Structure 1
Amino acid sequence: MSLEASLGHTFREPRLLREALTHRSFGTPHNERLEFIGDGVLNCTIALALYEKFPELPEGQLSRMRANLVSQPALHSLAQRLDISQHIRIGEGEEKSGGRERPSMLADALEAIFGAILLDSGFDAAQAAINRLYVTRIAQVNPREGGKDAKTRLQEFMQSKHLPLPTYSVERVDGEAHAQVFTVRCSVPQVDQEAVGRGSSRRAAEQQAANAVLNKLGV
């Protein structure tokens, strides 16, 4: 599946997508200005989605949930799902230093893509693309958890007990390269708990495993 198909948006001006996928180490024009625009449309879209989903929540709680959803880890996870690392254009030095897989670079590129869609087809198109990518995450938001994901909540639980952090290990990877399924084990021997999660990315599987451990602990 092409990147445009995964995004659900076909660019009228393909140069905008190329620019969004161009790191400054590759040359100019690069994606930093598009990232600036993308950050704005992302924050606005997620704010609207949360505002509509949780009409009873105050501004402070909505802000915390939004911050978690638009954080670098959240964007990095989505960028991995879209396989952006295979499309991004970076300089030779960045390539040698592993920049293609750097979370910050991939998160920035995804924001730049949102900005590119906005310039290409307007706010509604950018909002639609973001909502498609975030539909599962928005559905899973629990106001009682302040928008924190399962791994964060499990980590904070362990820290509150002054115990070592959980460990995550990939047990297997199934499927073709474009449709892989990861199986990850989360182990917390200090409280005699472990669980297995499965997902289309390592991060998704880790989140599922962490959530299973939280359920076992009654957290």
Structure 2
Amino acid sequence: MTHSSFAYETGKTRGPGNAHYESIEFLGDAVLGLLVAEMIFRSFPDYSEGEMSRLRASLVSARSLTEKAEKLDLGRHLRLGRGERASGGPSKHSILADAFEALLGAIYLDGGIRAARSFVRRQFGNAMVQSRPTIAQAGDYKTRLQEIVQAVGGPPPGYAVVSEEGPPHRKRFEVEVRLPGGGAFRAAGWSKKQAEQEAAKSALRSIGVEVDPPPAGG
């Protein structure tokens, strides 16, 4: 990836091999804003416009993009001018954040919106999981778990009754929920619905989501 400092230093700001990535960074910034907004809209439909805007700003902040660029080791792939490199360019937050946007722009140009969406989901999925740590209205753990899984591109969690105990008028059900990544969580309840909610609650806790106490009656 060619930084403008390298292009200007060599006197070649246009053409293959030497054109810098500022234009494609502009495109990547727009694509990132769209796809993150889409993820938020689909994952948190109950959020107000202001809440959505604040969450998007947090997810696409320079700090957030820098962290992702560092995990991808983008600094190692940058072509910088001698002066910029000597001043620590490969580790500068502004340069790394811009490089991340340029990378997304390139993915969009090469593979279209589907490839870009897949990349954004992989990069921001965990942050989305942590963005709403407490369920506002306690109890509907199944819906919350499904929102989180589908926000990162996974199929809905699957639930299955693994055992039933007790007389017909007082049965106790044990339910297992399976997540796309292979995790399985079990819980019991006095109805299938209650057991499913408790299993979903256990799954949420396993991925770091803080949950409220369940409502009376499950």
Deviation at 1:22, TM superposition (A): 1.1
Deviation at 1:142, TM superposition (A): 2.1
Question: Does residue 63 in structure 1 map to residue 53 in structure 2?
Answer: yes
Distance in 2, matches of 1:130 and 1:62, equals 17
Deviation at 1:51, TM superposition (A): 0.6
Distance in 1, matches of 2:58 and 2:40, equals 12
Q: Percent identity?
A: 44
**Structure 1 residue runs without a partner (length 5+):** 1-20, 145-219
Q: What is residue 52 of structure 1 aligned with on the other side?
A: 42
The 5-angstrom pairing of residues 106-145 of structure 1 reads 106-142=96-132
Deviation at 1:130, TM superposition (A): 1.1
**Code of the aligned partner of 2:61:** S
Question: Does residue 23 in structure 1 map to residue 3 in structure 2?
Answer: yes
- In structure 2, the residue corresponding to 1:25 is in which secondary structure? helix
Deviation at 1:37, TM superposition (A): 0.3
Distance in 2, matches of 1:136 and 1:143, equals 12
Deviation at 1:127, TM superposition (A): 1.2
Question: Does residue 89 in structure 1 map to residue 48 in structure 2?
Answer: no
Distance in 2, matches of 1:59 and 1:90, equals 40
Q: What is residue 75 of structure 1 aligned with on the other side?
A: 65
- Alignment length (residue pairs): 125
The 5-angstrom pairing of residues 117-196 of structure 1 reads 117-142=107-132
- In structure 1, the residue corresponding to 2:120 is in which secondary structure? helix
Of the candidates 73, 92, 103, which is equivalent to residue 93 of structure 2? 103
Q: What is residue 191 of structure 1 aligned with on the other side?
A: none
- In structure 2, the residue corresponding to 1:26 is in which secondary structure? helix
Distance in 2, matches of 1:143 and 1:49, equals 17
Distance in 1, matches of 2:121 and 2:32, equals 9
Output the TM-score relative to the length of structure 2. 0.55
Q: Which has the larger radius of gyration?
A: 2
- In structure 1, the residue corresponding to 2:78 is in which secondary structure? coil
Distance in 2, matches of 1:41 and 1:107, equals 14
- CA offset digits 1:160-212 (Å, max 9, x no partner): xxxxxxxxxxxxxxxxxxxxxxxxxxxxxxxxxxxxxxxxxxxxxxxxxxxxx
**Code of the aligned partner of 1:47:** A
Of the candidates 16, 29, 38, which is equivalent to residue 28 of structure 2? 38
Distance in 2, matches of 1:52 and 1:95, equals 41
Q: What is residue 17 of structure 1 aligned with on the other side?
A: none
Q: Indicate the RMSD between aligned Cα atoms, in angstroms.
A: 1.5
4+ residue stretches of structure 1 with deviation over 6 A? none
Deviation at 1:143, TM superposition (A): 7.4
- In structure 2, the residue corresponding to 1:57 is in which secondary structure? coil
**Code of the aligned partner of 1:107:** A
Distance in 2, matches of 1:143 and 1:122, equals 32
**Structure 2 residue runs without a partner (length 5+):** 8-12, 14-18, 135-218
- CA offset digits 1:43-91 (Å, max 9, x no partner): 1111011111101111111001000100000000000111111111111
